A and B are shown apart, each in its own frame.
Chain A
Amino acid sequence: MSQINSNTPMLQMRGITKRFPGVLASDNVDFDVRAGEVHTLLGENGAGKSTLMKILYGLYQQDEGEILLHGKPVRLTSPAHAIAQGIGMIHQHFMLVPTLTVAENVALGLKSSRGPLTDLKTVSRRITRLSKTFGLQVYPDAYIWQLSVGERQRVEIIKALYRDASILILDEPTAVLTPNEVDDIFVIFRKLVRDGRGIIFISHKLQEVLDLSDRITVLRHGRVTGTTTPDKSDRHDLARLMVGREVKLAPDKHQVEPGEPLLVIEDLFVYGDRGKQAVKGLNLKVRSGEILGIAGISGNGQRELAEAIAGLRRPKSGRIMINGHDTTGYKPGQIRKIGLSYVPEERMKDGAIGEFDIKENLILLNHNHNPFCKKGFLCFGEICAHSKRLVREYAVKTPGIDTMTSNLSGGNIQKVIMARELDAEPKVLLASQPTRGVDIGAAEYIHERIAEQRQQGTASIVISEDLDEVMALSDRIAVMFDGQIMGIIERDQATRESIGLLMTGETQAPVETV
């Protein structure tokens, strides 16, 4: 690797075009990576990042254009082929087998030195060596299911290094990490490029992109809209290249003096799916006109907390009060009548019915009441008028209100759900991961609508893994770890570092008395 002439890129993709029925996923894209650099691919969902990388990893074949590795044209026809050419990919959804050990996962697909028998001892020894060289701490004999997300990611990186990958594709590697883990992994990425490797970093988190990259290439609608470097651009420039227009990265604040507490949670205990305690004695108070953000890594009880508030999961003990009513143990329908609107984490599972058209999803809350339903019959005149109004008000991009919901983009489906939930004029708004997988334009819009709820006097809770989102929206930030609130920080006193520490449960900040 050391003899590579830094003038010839390790990888060149020239004029790559890929068509899918009705879509031009990749349109004459040029992209290259040199040894010793991190080259970022930035773009919205559907901008063509994944298509490009799947072509590079042999999962798709390009229709036009050529790929050169170290100056020589290659045709990559399968992942095995790509791996053999020194390309390694760390997938966003880890490609690990939870029931196997680290060593077994690494050995999978490799030729064994003992013929048909596995040779886990040799594999383990080399894993230990690699992990020392690059500071990637893993134990070869641990089972994957026992590992944290950060550890699993290290296994993925080891897997690629074990196969002598000189070009590493990192597909949104920071999506599931805490801020501190992100810092650690960036140090490792730096080590890897110093060692002569090339890294392709795929992300949509603008600050991280600026922190890590040597070069940045932005894609939109399958086309390269610009290539730049971190010293020549800032977050706003990148967002503009991604979206094609000026983007507000945080909604305007119209600070409202908070009023009465509308959501009060006292000493709440909730069990998770596997019968383990997921929420452990949690207390919270959210007042009218304020937005409380709940930060934290997924799986620390956020989902169970949200479901308990919405009445989808019966709390073990404790009390939930909405707008002065004790709603503990109430059914979801009763709680909604008292004034809760709920935007669930899993949009297509709990938030909307994909096979329904837009107007049907828009009336799901009150399809059995006047004016949408009279004497057991649906009144389509009312329903259509209502749906047309909401589609217009919430800027849902759709051919019409009869379009099947699953045909919309993630951002537009989320707008449909937001329209339905906010139109109910809630006292309490509970939004879980409101912009996960949503493109920047739609996210900007959704954030503005949530921020507007302050003026309506709504008490809002936004649960999110995305720290930038929590910091942009909230008046106060509560950090959840292991079923408890580790601390609540006022927005103007919150820093990424202080929140990051609380997210891993490391320090106990003075808990604001509520």
Chain B
Amino acid sequence: MADSLAVLIIVSTIASGIRLATPFLLASLGEALGQRSGVLNLGVDGVMLLGAFGAYYTVLQTNNPYYGLLVGIGTGLVLGVFYGFITLNLRAEQGVSGIGIYLFGLGMSDLLFQKFVGTPRPILPFMPLHFPVLSDLPIVGEMLFQHSIIVYIAFGLVPVMSFILYKTTYGLNIRAIGENPEAADSLGVSVMATRYSAIIIGNGLAGLAGAALAIELGIFQQNLTNAMGFIAIALVYFGAWTPTGVMLGSFLFGLVQAIVLQCKTFGVIPRSASDLAAMAPAIITILALVVVAKRFKQPAALTKPYVRGG
């Protein structure tokens, strides 16, 4: 009896870890793509917030979560064009302009929320999918096959992104430009176009991550993401700029969050210490970064604007 309860708890913890990892995974896949091309985007969190609000408001109006996802992506794409213009055309310092985007997203999403919504109203979240046979499997079914569509989109993007990076000409261009843009340029690969595309797609994924978060929670509020975008950036380093590594990092982070939540529910952690416990995922990420990330080198041209002959 005790055994089956333990199994139940473990299964539900892993399932919720996967769910919690989803927005991190989407955002950090996008960030990894941008960084692979040599552009650092510290504004992920701001893009997520605007994507989240866009998605929330759309679902509020249309009652269709899929429209919400599309608006979230669209918001990210537009911000991607904007960020590309700042960093690639104007060659602004990437650390500072990214923080600018973050602050813009933080303030703007709240302003729009206050102006158009005011009091929080819940929206229709995604329903978990039901796969014949698979979802009804014991243990595995609950762990892997009873999630909402966005979870499958996020994890499905991992192999897609690996394929693009390592098997396509476009991916080869991105990897080359992040390391030695001069070499790519000397062979006629457009550094500008490639970086633009990587930033736009990356920001689109950040917008999608925000949308996923808002729709999953069914609400929006000021600073909904609570710095998740910054964690996503850290996870890119943790994952050594590979889609699989980023996925492992996101899952680990989601899992630790889930464990902390479970512990709170079961009263393992006293109320007074719950704020401290909430820091656990961040602390574990920092420790893991110290241990893991030092072994890998970041793309050599990261944060360096490219000027021909410069």
List residues of A whose CB falls within 8 A of some B CB.
54, 59-60, 78-81, 83, 89, 91, 94-100, 104-105, 107-110, 112, 116-118, 159
Contact = CB atoms under 8 A, between A and B. Distances in A.
Contacts of A59: 308-309
Given A94-B183, A95-B187, 20 more contacts: A54-B309, A59-B309, A60-B309, A80-B187, A91-B186, A95-B186, A97-B180, A97-B184, A98-B180, A99-B175, A99-B300, A100-B172, A100-B175, A100-B179, A107-B172, A108-B172, A108-B187, A109-B173, A109-B188, A117-B167
Main SS of chain A's interface residues? loop
B180 A95 contact: yes
A59 B309 CA distance: 8
Query: Taking chain B's interface residues, is the majority helix, strand, or loop, or is none over half, making it mixed?
Result: helix
A80 B188 contact: yes
Given A59-B308, A79-B188, A118 B172 contact: yes
B187 A79 contact: yes
Interface in B141-185: 167-173, 175-176, 179-180, 182-185
B309 A104 contact: no
A110 B184 CA distance: 11
Contact of A109 (B179, B189, B300): B189
A104 B172 contact: yes
A301 B212 CA distance: 54
Contacts of A94: 183
A83 B179 contact: no
B183 A108 contact: yes
A54 B186 CA distance: 11
Q: Which 5 A-B pairs have the closest CB atoms?
A: A80-B188, A109-B187, A95-B183, A95-B186, A97-B180
Interface string B62-94: 000000000000000000000000000000000
Contacts of A97: 175-176, 179-180, 183-184
Nearest to A119: B169
Contacts of A99: 175, 179, 300
Interface residues on B, range: 20 to 34
Given A95-B186, A98-B180, A109-B188, A117 B168 contact: yes
A108 B174 CA distance: 10
19 contacts: A54-B309, A59-B309, A78-B188, A79-B187, A79-B188, A80-B188, A83-B187, A83-B188, A95-B183, A95-B187, A97-B184, A98-B179, A98-B180, A99-B175, A104-B175, A105-B183, A108-B173, A108-B176, A118-B172
A100 B171 CA distance: 12
Nearest to B190: A80
A99 B172 CA distance: 11
Nearest to B186: A95
Contacts of B172: 100, 104, 107-108, 118
A79 B185 contact: yes
A117 B169 contact: yes
Nearest to A104: B172
Contacts of B167: 117-118
A120 B185 CA distance: 20
Interface of B: 167-173, 175-176, 179-180, 182-189, 300, 308-309
A471 to B, nearest CB: 34
Contacts of A98: 179-180, 300
A200 to B, nearest CB: 16
A97 B172 CA distance: 11
Nearest to A96: B183
A97 B308 CA distance: 17
B170 A116 contact: yes
Contacts of B179: 97-100
Contacts of B170: 116
A112 B189 CA distance: 13
A513 to B, nearest CB: 44
B236 to A, nearest CB: 16
Nearest to B163: A117
Contacts of B171: 118
A95 B309 CA distance: 13
Contacts of A109: 173, 184, 187-189
Contacts of A116: 168-170
Residue of B188, B308, B309 with most chain A CB atoms under a 10 A cut-off = B188
B178 to A, nearest CB: 9
B189 A95 contact: no
Contacts of B168: 116-118
Contacts of A60: 309
Nearest to A99: B179
B160 to A, nearest CB: 13
A158 to B, nearest CB: 13
A79 B186 contact: yes
A328 to B, nearest CB: 30
A79 B186 CA distance: 6
A117 B183 CA distance: 20
A116 B168 CA distance: 6
B37 to A, nearest CB: 13
A54 B189 CA distance: 17
A193 B182 CA distance: 28
Nearest to A106: B187
Given A107-B172, A116-B170, A96 B309 contact: no
A109 B176 CA distance: 10
B195 to A, nearest CB: 15
Contacts of B173: 108-109
B204 to A, nearest CB: 19
